[in-house]
Structure 1
């Protein structure tokens, strides 16, 4: 770890486990070395009037896609997009991120080629990045071509996570069944849409724009991909085995049935990402799995999907362990603030949703809490009693990644 000078933050209110406490914090050489310890030889930073907590750990964020493709079909250089994304992460208090990198059979933004480009760029840019940029290999299970890349990426210096996704089956679902209640994807009686239906062709339009192709061409492509369905379970087993071999954290995405959660738990995926109903979330809780929901859901007071569970309700019921930025990095702090304002819990009891719990789920034992010996990943927040909080400073392993001084 890079040597850094000793720093003492004085006057801030620290988020310490289950309590808030006004105390000084000392860190040096990237680690927290004392709480209310000595000032000797240290640079003293005034934290009065601010909240100091462990920096955020984002288990799933795909907002980087908007830097790569700010408009449908309009691509920007990968290095520039990732450097800008990194700056946004630091300014939102996120010290560790897992970019949800979709690996799909679709051409364009979510293709294997783009996945490799992002992986190679992050590896190349590592010395210039402000925060720790990792990958969540958001693998579409019908994309067999991704297996070799997944194998390569798992050998990288920063072990990625693997998320099992199946948006192919979701796209093929008959419109009479909601996504939230769709059957287990490999059920023999899975209800399939009529691909000649004009509504289905129109539905494929968004994917087609992203891939720079016509809706008709996209329909033909998904029809050919759908023929792979009998082979998918075996390929899932292969990818899960690759993950288990390097102890990579694994997640299943948008579980709609207990059978789905059971299946992926059996493959070693102990994180349920965005379960789509209470029934599945309760089953995950009873099995001891980690449960992830989107911070935008918390910030907005409900999911953009409308019929998915409300995060506030899930937190109250003990059915949410982790908040992910999902598609909007500022939502981690804003969502936390909304939960506090709505009386769901106190700051200190809710903060683990964005730091301590994701560190446990991802096996990052060196960070996620303010404690002596832990990595000095810290976020200083200006949080008025009746107002919107904002990040003023972010430290990553004791290094200043972001700092802002207000005009007032």
Structure 2
């Protein structure tokens, strides 16, 4: 593998200091800091040299698979296109959030199994270290045994418990809202979808015990666990007690505070920071405030990959966080939460996952190079 020395006047080191120094990369690791140049030399000047981004939750790849309702593209093509987006935005490790639901279609069993298999097959061809984040819909009771098998064979890198079912039941059965979004996604007629909803609702009493069995299996096989959209502090404490230590998108400040009190990492969306608010409108929490007040420790791409590199700079410019702490939200903090102790910082011996970022001071920053395990997988002309 190529030996490479990168010189920058702004290198963010593991202790949070920013130094004018060199970083030498060899055999996929950071072999030295502050040493004389050897091998291929890069001088990036005032551009930042930063730890590569670790994205624990991204599902924007679904738009490459189905860019319009009912319009499908091959999974391998979609994954290659997604990979190009990731590395062009400084992401060196990505957990693809694959929703396994009781719905057929895009989020059903056939699609989930096909995508899981495609990820495994395509992994050697993907530049980004791409991992499988299984977003298990808790009412998908029929999948429990299969998911336990996947946890046992090591093919799940992160398991998150999702429960969108109650929201769908309320929206459709209680409030009488349109089923158009769901019929387009599932391929079912209106009447077929309504009948399916009733069957799913009937299974609700069995959900808590199923979740406990799945959580126990994940803990037994050392798979990181998250709960998604916790609504109350009690819900967060209940998941924590099962070994589910990552709080994904708590729905309010009180729940985020409960997670912090338990020592649990709290995830918010980087798009929330970049947009200045939640896509849920005034009902959603403000990620910048949660970060400023110490309740958010990780940012993820959620539905928009470019937000990850932009958000820390926005936070620093707005005074919501010092830049080293802001960048840790997308690098060291998510790496530790997922149990990836070999990356997320610039330190001797660490995996050489790095991003070169130009900051004009106003407007968007630009990722000009990304290294994954020492390989320069992306480098723009500006680099």
Please give the range of the TM-score, normalised by the shorter of the 2 chains. over 0.9
The equivalent of 1:33 in structure 2 is 31
The equivalent of 1:179 in structure 2 is none
**TM-score, normalised by the number of residues in structure 2:** 0.96
Structure 1: gaps of 5 or more residues: 176-192
The partner residue of 2:54 within 52, 57, 61 is: 57
The equivalent of 1:210 in structure 2 is 185
The partner residue of 1:400 within 347, 372, 376 is: 376
The partner residue of 2:41 within 41, 44, 47 is: 44
By how many angstroms is 1:108 displaced?
A: 0.8
Question: Does structure 1 residue 111 correspond to structure 2 residue 108?
Answer: yes
The equivalent of 2:215 in structure 1 is 240
The equivalent of 1:381 in structure 2 is 357
What CA RMSD, in Å, does the superposition of the two structures yield over aligned residues? 1.5
CA distance 1:341–1:156, shift in 2 (3 Å) = farther
| Inter-partner Cα distance in structure 2 for 1:158 and 1:13 | 38
Note if contact 1:98-1:134 (Cα within 8 Å) is conserved in structure 2. Answer: yes
By how many angstroms is 1:158 displaced?
A: 6.0
Note if contact 1:299-1:336 (Cα within 8 Å) is conserved in structure 2. Answer: no
Question: Does structure 1 residue 365 correspond to structure 2 residue 354?
Answer: no
The equivalent of 2:66 in structure 1 is 69
The equivalent of 1:296 in structure 2 is 271
The equivalent of 1:180 in structure 2 is none
Q: Please say which of residues 94-103 and 113-122 is displaced more in the overlay.
A: 113-122
1:90-142 Cα shifts (integer Å, max 9, x gaps)? 11111101111000011111012111111111111121110111011100001
The partner residue of 1:285 within 247, 257, 260 is: 260
Match of 2:378, SS state, is strand
Moved over 4 A (4+): 155-159
Write out aligned runs for 1:65-104 (5 A): 65-104=62-101
| Inter-partner Cα distance in structure 2 for 1:80 and 1:107 | 22
By how many angstroms is 1:12 displaced?
A: 4.0
Note if contact 1:201-1:216 (Cα within 8 Å) is conserved in structure 2. Answer: no
Query: Counting helix residues as a fraction of each chain, which structure ranks higher?
Result: 2
The equivalent of 1:162 in structure 2 is 159
Q: Please say which of residues 22-31 and 332-341 is displaced more in the overlay.
A: 332-341
**TM-score, normalised by the number of residues in structure 1:** 0.90
CA distance 1:399–1:59, shift in 2 (3 Å) = same
Question: Does structure 1 residue 347 correspond to structure 2 residue 323?
Answer: yes
The equivalent of 2:18 in structure 1 is 20
By how many angstroms is 1:155 displaced?
A: 4.5
The partner residue of 2:251 within 276, 279, 287 is: 276
| Inter-partner Cα distance in structure 2 for 1:362 and 1:395 | 20
By how many angstroms is 1:151 displaced?
A: 2.9
